[in-house]
Amino acid sequence: MAIAKMAKLSAIVEESNRNLLMKELQVLQRVEVKPIDPTDLAVELNAEKKTSSQFEDQLEDVRSAMRFLDSYLPAASFKEKYLTPLSDMSYAQLENQYQAEEVNQITAKVWEQKQTLEKIDSELQSLNNEADFLNKWRNLKALPEYNDEAYKHTKLYLGTIPQTSDNEFINAIKNEPKLLVEEIYQNKDEIGLVMAADLDDAYEVNQVLAHNRFQALEYKFTDLPANMLQERHAKAESLRNKATQTRKEISTMKAEYEELKIAEEMLYAKVEREKAQDLALSTERLFAVEGWVVADEASAVINKIEQTLGSNVYIEVSDVEESEYEEVPVELKNNRFVEPFETVTSMYGLPKYNGFDPSASLTPYYWIFFGMMIADLGYGMLLWVGTFIALKAFNLDAGMRKNVRFFHYLSYSAMLWGLIYGSLFGESLPFRLLSPTEDVIEVLALSIALGLIQIIHGLVLNTMINWKNDRLEAVKGGAAWIVMLIGFLVAVLGPMLFNIQSLQQVGLWMSAIAALTILGIAIIKSKNKAAGLAAGLYDLYGVSGYLGDIVSYSRLMALGISGGSIALAFNILVAYLPPVARFSIGIFLIIALQLFNFGLSMLSAYVHSARLIFVEFFGKFYEGGGRAFAPLKLLGKHINIK
């Protein structure tokens, strides 16, 4: 079975050794801590639930500081980011390097710099708003409020009127003989005015202004706009210089950023440990933890824990009971070729612990389908080279390495089908077994044949999975449909291929017997025979679904043809260019177009291969519903912790 056998590990230590035990479990990274049931323990405990992690706020603080620094520190080079492996460090070394007080000082400094920049930005925004206002009124030569004796009989008005297409308001105000009007600015929405009038005419003037929708301006400054504008510009320049200096200081905090990396690793470990401890039980004197472990690794885990804690730990491993199957996590165990294809299973949903892992079953189909949809030697070689370089030269984590290996294996299929179809970047090779454009019927027949094989395989798996628990259901949902489909094939292909007309009758009788079997089992299994008959007839209606499933495999031919045709069309397009353009811009154009088609073909093959697996194959036998094995781990993002 490709689902790893799990075991249940229980450990009890004195409360003083709690942290040591949890650290050891975390460093091992192969034990998933589970909620503990006190009745399962050899020692009776009074549970005291732990509080939630006290380090979560510190971790978020560190991560926020790192996100802020990321915006200002020089970007890591391609070599540093992708080619340089993570430095190795033991957990003890990590603990020694982590200095909580220094980290607090660093985060405090980061937030101080952040607040400085935010304050500067706020002040600059305010200054810019004031500058926009002052710039409009920069031609103003007198303020509305003044104490000059020379103007004690005159009133100044400062404000705006709406802009109109026919200049109705401005003309009315300018034509008012009791007003002296000066236009300060004008834009598409309004006109800024300063006006003077005799105090004795103030009432009449106010009526005129109100009639023409004059809005008085509350001028809050004590100096003229031109003077204030100059002052604002000088202050803004000073603030910008201060912000530039602050950013320069932040950009030199590379060493502090490295310390924050250490802190993130350490605090993540603490947070995860405390979350795990929330699932454990403790008293004033004892601490107990329980978890899932891969059975084959249990003895090694026990030996490592006992090496660290010696006789200070009571530890035992027990088999998983059938009543616990629903809560047992799942880890898939497959050979090196099948392992990358576990990602396809995971996308759909992991199997239950007592279920069936379909990874090995789907692998040959996905491999064939993907290559058949790309079907180009050139694209296969591109995929092979890209994934090979990534695997050999790039610093990839385990999950990414698994995905790259997945596409590396698929590149061989793409190259193989490229040779079969005789296609190299859309151009025809001098040899081929099939032409997707000339041998359309043969390619379509091959696609349908592969589909039938996969569907029958799915029904075989359905029969095998159900046979142990419900043989009638295994026959009704699997074996009978296999016989029916094979009967149809014999009835249709027998006379055509072997020129034996009696095979048609044999095939039809096979299908009829299978149909009656499905109908009979449905009736037998139902207490209400009429309802059973209806259910059986509904099951038989599913034959139309099988027809649709079979037709779905025509996409294997369609996508293979479309990708090659688009590549050929791009080649022809560039070939029509004049010779000078063809060997200059044409080179870059054909590379860009072929890469575009390569990406499009990759995406189509990836999605549609998965679709054929999920719908036409998994739909016959697989349910999923499992939960992935999630052991207590370290972060390992910045450091490879040994």
Query: Of the ranges 56-70, 174-188, 299-313, 485-499, which one carries the lowest mean pLDDT score?
Result: 485-499
Measured CA to CA, the distance from residue 247 to residue 124 in angstroms comes to 16
The model's confidence at residue 76, banded by pLDDT at 50, 70 and 90, is confident
**Alpha-carbon torsion 597, 602, 608, 612, what sign?**
positive
Measured CA to CA, the distance from residue 236 to residue 121 in angstroms comes to 10
The model's confidence at residue 622, banded by pLDDT at 50, 70 and 90, is very high
The mean pLDDT of 509-526, rounded to a whole number, is 85
The mean pLDDT of 178-192, rounded to a whole number, is 92
pLDDT at residue 550 greater than cutoff 60: yes
Q: Alpha-carbon dihedral of residues 364, 365, 371, 375, nearest 10 degrees?
A: 130
pLDDT at residue 538 greater than cutoff 70: yes
Q: In order of start, what are the domains of the chain with their CATH numbers?
A: 141-223 (3.30.70.2750), 339-621 (no CATH)
The backbone torsions φ and ψ at residue 187, rounded to the nearest 5 degrees and listed phi first, read -135, -170
Across 132-136, 346-350, 509-513, 621-625, the highest mean pLDDT is recorded for 346-350
Measured CA to CA, the distance from residue 25 to residue 634 in angstroms comes to 10
pLDDT at residue 109 greater than cutoff 90: yes
Average pLDDT, the chain: 89
Can you tell me whether residue 428 is helix, strand or coil?
Answer: strand
Q: Are 457 and 361 within 8 A, CB to CB?
A: yes
Nearest to 542 by CA among 524, 515, 520: 515
Return the pLDDT at 39.
59
Across 120-124, 222-226, 547-551, the highest mean pLDDT is recorded for 120-124
Measured CA to CA, the distance from residue 189 to residue 136 in angstroms comes to 13
Joined together, the tokens standing for residue 268 give 């993540």
The mean pLDDT of 481-489, rounded to a whole number, is 88
Nearest to 590 by CA among 566, 606, 614, 611: 566
The mean pLDDT of 601-619, rounded to a whole number, is 95
Nearest to 556 by CA among 369, 283, 357, 362: 369
Q: State the CB neighbour count (10 A cutoff) for residue 46.
A: 10
Residue 197, beta-bridge partner list: 155
* Residue that wins the pLDDT comparison between 39 and 567: 567
Return the pLDDT at 75.
87
pLDDT tens track for 286-305: 999 999 999 999 999 999 99
The model's confidence at residue 145, banded by pLDDT at 50, 70 and 90, is low
Return the pLDDT at 147.
44
The backbone torsions φ and ψ at residue 497, rounded to the nearest 5 degrees and listed phi first, read -85, -35
The model's confidence at residue 283, banded by pLDDT at 50, 70 and 90, is confident
Place of tokens 């009758």: 505
Give the amino acid at 260: L
Place of tokens 């590396």: 408
Nearest to 214 by CA among 197, 193, 198: 193
Return the pLDDT at 214.
93
The mean pLDDT of 390-407, rounded to a whole number, is 92
Using CA atoms, how far residue 515 sits from 268, 480, 508, 522, 534, in Å, is 59, 7, 10, 11, 14
Percentage with pLDDT > 90 across the chain: 61
Return the pLDDT at 47.
47
| Burial label, 37 (beta-carbon count in 10 A; 0-12, 13-18, 19+) | exposed
The mean pLDDT of 613-627, rounded to a whole number, is 92
Q: Are 207 and 95 within 8 A, CB to CB?
A: no
Return the pLDDT at 151.
57
Return the pLDDT at 86.
86
Percentage with pLDDT > 70 across the chain: 96
Return the pLDDT at 40.
55
* Edge-first strand listing for the sheet containing 154-162: 180-186, 190-198, 154-162, 215-216
Measured CA to CA, the distance from residue 237 to residue 233 in angstroms comes to 6
Measured CA to CA, the distance from residue 459 to residue 618 in angstroms comes to 10
pTM of the model: 0.82
